[in-house]
């Protein structure tokens, strides 16, 4: 898959899963919470959190499902930790 098609597929999937995109430059997509996705040959998507490798995916749907679960868990955890009800 051409890198441009790979990026288009990723951006479309992120939008479908309602995952906010902060920036998309070159072969990298930046998301909230210091999360970044880089695209490599294969196709493969490398997920980074705070500059550290977190996971690699070849399936964009599995990547987005993982992200959605991770982001929702952090959101709920933040609410619970803040003392808000």
Task: Give the pLDDT score at 81.
Answer: 45
Task: Give the pLDDT score at 41.
Answer: 76
Number of domains present in the structure of the chain: 1
Q: Encoding tokens for residue 23? A: 């920036």
Task: Give the pLDDT score at 30.
Answer: 97
- Answer whether 0.85 is exceeded by the pTM: no
Closest residue by Cα to residue 17 from 9, 25, 26: 9
Task: Give the pLDDT score at 64.
Answer: 96
Domain that holds residue 54: 3-82
> What CA–CA distance (Å, rounded) separates 83 from 2?
47
Beta-carbon contacts of 21 under 8 Å, excluding residues fewer than 6 positions away, are 11, 14, 15, 29, 30, 31
């Amino acid at each position: 898959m051409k890198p441009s098609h790979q990026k288009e597929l990723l951006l479309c999937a992120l939008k479908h899963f309602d995952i906010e995109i902060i920036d998309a430059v070159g072969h990298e997509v930046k998301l909230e919470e210091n999360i970044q996705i880089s695209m490599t040959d294969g196709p493969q998507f490398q997920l980074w959190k705070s500059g550290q490798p977190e996971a690699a995916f070849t399936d964009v749907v599995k990547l987005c499902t993982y992200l959605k679960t991770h982001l929702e868990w952090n959101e709920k955890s933040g609410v619970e930790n803040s003392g808000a009800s």
